[in-house]
Every structure is written in structure tokens, then in C-alpha cells.
Structure 1
């Protein structure tokens, strides 16, 4: 019982995200973890497996298009990720003094990406996290089949630790994981799209640029369009 209480308080310390912020949410998390979660979240073999037979040829090709260019290898070892699957968070020490600059850079990168892609994507409250901002496909008719699982959500930052999630094409997932910039979500390929990926929190402004480029690749995959147009993002009109 003491171990359960300790685990529950550790889960609460992650902050809110995706599930009710109470004992019920903690129990649901453990049910999902024990019945559906993958243990090896840096395995990339899953992306080479045959795609579901019910996908059209267009959808199959869409999942195998590479949008990212070659990434630099991320410096240092992979950060520790909490063992709970929801919320899916990086375990970090208290942010260093430079984190104010980092936070500002992350927010600016997210808003800039949204402004550049405002013709295909829009910002509203994350449906996966149930709070905070997420970037969504603007036109659901152009979204891939996996958008149904994410309810049109493309990517979001977590303001608790500034890690992020993004839904990527399979080759882009491989690039991100192999170069040390992220890992699979434990529920990817079951409750969540197979390409749903955790992006580690940036440790520098250069890292922020890399994460922004990965998010941009997610936008291209989820909207089917490339390139940027200047503009502003006002509200969310996406429905699915």
C-alpha cells in the first residue's frame, strides 16, 4: 500500500495531462500501461512492419514519405522518461537559470510555426492533454487516416517540462529516434498513432530549432502540404 501511495504522488507530481487528475486517472493509467503499453520505446523495427491492410495505397505512401532532412546527433545521453504512460513526461531536475530563455524560445518557435503554416494548421486547446495549446489540422478532409486517433492534433509542447509530442511519418520517426531527439509513446500503435512521438525538452536555443523542424515535418505529414506562408493564427475551427 505504501508503494502505491508513493507511486500515486509521483504521478501527481507530473502535473495534469490527458486523464483525470485524481486516483481514478492514476488507476486508468496503470490499466493502460499493463494491458497496452510497449516497453521498448526506442525500437524502430515497428516502422518497417507491413502497414495495415485496410489502408489505401495513398495512405500507405503517405506514411512512408520522409519530410525531415538528416538531423545532427543529439548531444548527451537520452533523458529519463517517467514510467507512467499518461501523462507521458520527461523526468528533469529543476530547470536551470537559462530556462527562461529556453521557455521563451519554445513558445516563440511554436507560435512562429503556427503563423507560417496558418493556411493548413491552427492553434486551439490540446485535446490529447486537455489543457495547453496544440496545433491542429485546419482541413480534416486533407488529413491522413491517423488524424482520427489524434482528433486532428499534430503537435504540442508540455509546459511542465517543455518536452513535446508530434505525430510523424514512419521514416521521420526513425530519424528522430536514431539521432536521440525522442522516443515512441508507449501507447503508439494502439490508442495513439504509430508515429506519435515524444520529443525531448530542448537544452539550448539550437535544440529548439531542431525541435521546431521536427514539428514542421509533423505539420507536413498531417496536412499533406509543404512550405510556409506568413500570417497569424486566431482560433481553432477544426472538427473531426
Structure 2
């Protein structure tokens, strides 16, 4: 009974304040409502400006789901863009595939917005590099037909994507087939990461679905942990806000944006928290089916910023090649 009475005290206090100064309280409430409406409208306009193509409808309902469900779960920008020099985790002998040969991106990071879709909103491609990157994907698929398929993205249908045939082959049977025994195979960690992506889609280049002639050139892809650390640390990209969500150990005790405070974090972002975050990843050589299937985005699901000139196109191609090597097990790419 006492608890019930205490729960009503704030209501009684609010009523007393209103009775004392009704005009002041009404004005403050109206100001608060107007501010919330203005903030919501700006956020809605931003969501619409990002274009469709993601899993959510490009309308008011999609914005509500995006704002009320996805955004509160997204990693803070601090974690998405920080290089923490994490201990390499069990892939490629701790070497990665870029092997430290990627230079730093010049200038500051572009602004990004959204969760689904997740988009770069300035420093956009104005040189036609989007087509150069798509041509690179087509060339990779042509060079490695046993390992790669190029098609429309199953995550963002307006985008052009690469799919790992190798991953599909080794995870759909008890053992690699006779025709693929001599082929390269992805690591257990790679198979774990790609297990949650439709058709083992590991890379796609963005194209605005409702803005004909407008270039984008940014892309999403999956990298090894070592390469993700290098790419993010050197300014070429950032983690997706839902990287590692929801199935990887540490997500629910991780740090979404609305809880992130630098002074309250022990030094690890969500995708590195928990010793068992990729449980099942040590299944052993040739034991593909022992790698458990995950749901959601892999912990190294990364947005690569749109290249601004020919030199940056070549750098982004090297990042794509590293993603291909991680997804397929190929060491010689292209």
C-alpha cells in the first residue's frame, strides 16, 4: 500500500504545480511537444533522403520501426569509427589479408546516417567510381566462377552484390563434394560470419534506387577481424550500427548508442566482448557443419566509404579483394 501511495506522489506534485501556474505548465508542455514534433519530422526527412533499398519500407511505417526499434540498438558512432587495436582473433594466423599494406585515407571521415539503410551522406562519389567498383566485382566473379557469383543484392536489391559459392558448397553438405576437394575453402570463422547472410552475400556496392543518375559508390562488406581493424583505424570505413546483432555473444551486454559512455566502458566494443563471441568457430579443418549458424549481421559488417579519385578506387579494390579472400579462402585475388 505504501508503495502504491509513493507511486502517485509525482502525479500529485505535477497536479499541484499545474494548479499553481497553469499557463506556465501549458506553455512548457506545448514547447516540448513542438520540439518533439520538429525533431521527429527532421529525422523522418533524413530517413526518406537516404533512399529505399533496405529491408524496411521507404515510408512512415519504415521510419517508425527504424527510429523506435533499430536506432536504440545501434552502436554509438564512437565504437563504429574507433580503432581499438584488438587482439587478432584466430583467423589467417592473425595476419589478415591486407597485411598492413593499406595506406591511410586522407581528410576527415564523411558523415553517415541510418541503420537500415546505413548510408554515407557527404563526400559522395562524383567521378563515376561506382561503375569502376561494379566492374571490379564482375571481373572477380569472372576470374573465380567456382567461388563467386555476382547478382542483385538480397539485402538491398538495388545494389550489386558478390555471393560466396564456396561457402554455400561447404555448408550445405556433410563434406565437400568431389568436384570441390581441390578448391580453396573459407576459414571456420568466415563460415560462421557468412552463415547469417542470405545466399552468403558478403559484399554489395550501393546505388540509389530512386535517384537516377546520382552516384553513391559506398559499399558494405564482411572482413576478417584484423582487416576490419585496419580499415576502420585508417579511416576507410566504419562498422554497421548493428554489427554483431543479435546473435553474437556480447551483444545484449554490449553498448548501444543510448548507453554508450566512454568513461563507463572497459575498452571493448560489442563485437569483441565475451570470450565465447564466436563459439563454434574452432570446429577444426574440414568440419564445416560443426560451425553453428548465426542470425543477424556479422561482427565485422563494415561500410566502406565511397572513393573520391582513382587512387582511392584502387585502395577500395584492395579492401574488396581482402573481403573476397576472407569469404572464399582464396589467397590469390583477383
TM-score interval w.r.t. the shorter chain?
0.7 to 0.9
1:109 correspondence with 2:109: no
TM-score w.r.t. structure 1 length?
A: 0.81
| Higher radius of gyration, 1 or 2 | 2
Alpha-carbon separation, structure 1, partners of 2:319 and 2:125: 23
Report how far residue 90 of structure 1 moved. Answer: 0.5
Alpha-carbon separation, structure 1, partners of 2:326 and 2:95: 8
For residues 70-104 of structure 1, what are the alpha-carbon distances to aligned partners after superposition, in whole Å with 9 as ceiling and x for unaligned?
Answer: 2111111111112x1111110126754xx23x233
Report how far residue 115 of structure 1 moved. Answer: 2.1
Count of matched residue pairs:
215
1:219 correspondence with 2:324: yes
User: Contact 1:64–1:169 at 8 Å: present in 2 too?
Assistant: no
Report how far residue 47 of structure 1 moved. Answer: 4.8
Equivalent positions of 1:39-188 (< 5 A) are: 39=76, 40=78, 41-45=80-84, 47-48=86-87, 60-61=90-91, 64-69=94-99, 70-82=101-113, 84-92=114-122, 96=126, 99-100=127-128, 102-139=129-166, 140=168, 141=170, 142=185, 144-151=191-198, 152-160=200-208, 161-188=216-243
Alpha-carbon separation, structure 2, partners of 1:12 and 1:72: 35
Of residues 197, 200, 212 in structure 1, which corresponds to 2:302?
A: 197
Gaps of 5+ in 2: 1-36, 171-184, 209-215, 246-295
SS in 2 for 1:28: helix
Gaps of 5+ in 1: 52-59, 230-240
TM-score w.r.t. structure 2 length?
A: 0.59
Aligned to 1:12: 48
- Kindly tell me: are residues 11 and 112 of structure 1, through their superposed partners in 2, closer, same or farther at Cα, counting changes over 3 Å? same
1:206 correspondence with 2:254: no
- Kindly tell me: are residues 62 and 21 of structure 1, through their superposed partners in 2, closer, same or farther at Cα, counting changes over 3 Å? farther
Larger % of helix: which?
A: 2
Aligned to 1:57: none
User: Contact 1:29–1:86 at 8 Å: present in 2 too?
Assistant: yes
RMSD of equivalent CA atoms: 2.3
- Kindly tell me: are residues 95 and 154 of structure 1, through their superposed partners in 2, closer, same or farther at Cα, counting changes over 3 Å? closer
